[in-house]
Amino acid sequence: MKIGYFQYNPFYHDVLQNREYLGSRLANHSADLLVLPELALSGYLFRTNEEVFSCAETIPGPSSDFFHSLAKKNNTSYVYGCIEKAEPKASAADDLNYNFSSFYNSSVYINPSGDMKIYRKAHLFNREKNHFLPGNAPFFVFDVQGVTVGMLICFDHMFPEAARTLTLMGAQIICHPSNLVLQGYAQATTRSRSIENHIFWILANRIGTEQSGAVSCTYTGGSQITSPDGSILVSSASDEEDLTVIDIDPSLALDKNITQGNNLLTDRRTDLYQV
């Protein structure tokens, strides 16, 4: 199975330009599963809900249409991060002062047939809590060419329960669109998540710096793919665009034995803890 990621520096608050760039940059590159960063179409730094609204889209919407057409052209399934504009909620408090929408930091899987899955980030990071609602649906996995795949977004990596939950559901690969700002954390945690769950992990981070008023974010790149034994199969620089696709054997993630006498799933002491 060919899996990979595209690490790049999205145009700031310019969804159309990002779609145009991705269309040209990803042209003629194919993979079974290619992961893009968190908020890949908008950039990450927002100061007002008006700014968020200007970059938000419903799903399906123009960007998922764009990725569906790219998926067909390149015969590739994509996972990309975006701002999801959801339908109005019954409660005014859910509407973030807009009477027409709520926003989620979401990740979308879409394949050449147009099948789609949407994951809403469960663990919001820092100022994201000013703009987005936290994910409100149970974790889930889905099938990609016979392989079981799950999605998490960026800060979710700090909560091992999330990856463990997907593993217990059968995930062999976790797709992890990210906009990391804490140097080195996720490269370490996601490698650990690979080892402790015996799964593949595609960490797709972004690069670049965004500045808005007095606030700035520098993103740390270092995208990587780790394997069930914890090997780093490929990794990228902290500041360079990188489109990387590698071949893996996803069946390696089905074997949860660590020694002849130890299995990561059946050795769990669920009598002593909850997850």
- Does residue number 132 form part of the binding site for ligand ACM (CB under 6 A)? no
In terms of CB distance, is 151 or 264 closer to ligand ACM?
151
Q: What is the DSSP string of 125-189?
A: -GGGGGT-BPP-S---EEEETTEEEEE--GGGGG-HHHHHHHHHTT-SEEEEE----STTHHHHH
- Does residue number 181 form part of the binding site for ligand ACM (CB under 6 A)? yes
Q: Which of 82, 121, 210, 217 is catalytic?
A: 121
The span of 61-69, 176-184, 245-253, 261-269 binding ligand ACM (CB under 6 A) equals 176-184
In terms of CB distance, is 4 or 37 closer to ligand ACM?
37
DSSP class of residue 87 equals: P
Q: Which of 55, 82, 154, 217 is catalytic?
A: 154
The span of 28-36, 89-97, 179-187, 266-274 binding ligand ACM (CB under 6 A) equals 179-187
How many residues at the interface with ligand ACM, by CB under 6 A? 7
Least distance in Å: CB of 195 to ligand ACM? 22
Give the integer Cα–Cα distance in Å for 200 and 253: 7
Give the integer Cα–Cα distance in Å for 121 and 135: 5
Residues 16-55 contacting ligand ACM, CB under 6 A:
38
Least distance in Å: CB of 267 to ligand ACM? 31
Give the integer Cα–Cα distance in Å for 91 and 174: 33
Give the integer Cα–Cα distance in Å for 33 and 71: 10
At which residue do the structure tokens 């899955």 appear? Answer: 117
Q: Quick check: is 50 catalytic?
A: no
Least distance in Å: CB of 127 to ligand ACM? 10
Give the integer Cα–Cα distance in Å for 7 and 208: 10
- Does residue number 125 form part of the binding site for ligand ACM (CB under 6 A)? yes
At which residue do the structure tokens 């793919």 appear? Answer: 225
DSSP H or E segment with residue 263: strand 262-263
Least distance in Å: CB of 160 to ligand ACM? 15
Residues 151-170 contacting ligand ACM, CB under 6 A:
154-155
- Of 102, 107, 165, 179, which lies in the binding site for ligand ACM, with binding defined by CB under 6 A? 179
Q: Which of 38, 57, 128, 210 is catalytic?
A: 38
Q: Quick check: is 38 catalytic?
A: yes
The pair of three-digit structure tokens given for residue 16, joined into one six-digit string = 């159309």
DSSP H or E segment with residue 17: helix 15-25
Least distance in Å: CB of 80 to ligand ACM? 15
Least distance in Å: CB of 125 to ligand ACM? 3
- Does residue number 106 form part of the binding site for ligand ACM (CB under 6 A)? no
Which residues fall within 8 angstroms of residue 81, CB to CB, at 6 or more apart?
A: 36, 37, 38, 39, 40, 41, 105, 106, 107, 108, 153, 177, 179
The pair of three-digit structure tokens given for residue 234, joined into one six-digit string = 């490929």
- Does residue number 201 form part of the binding site for ligand ACM (CB under 6 A)? no
List interacting residues with ligand ACM (CB under 6 A): 38, 125, 154-155, 179-181
- Residues catalogued as catalytic: 38, 121, 154
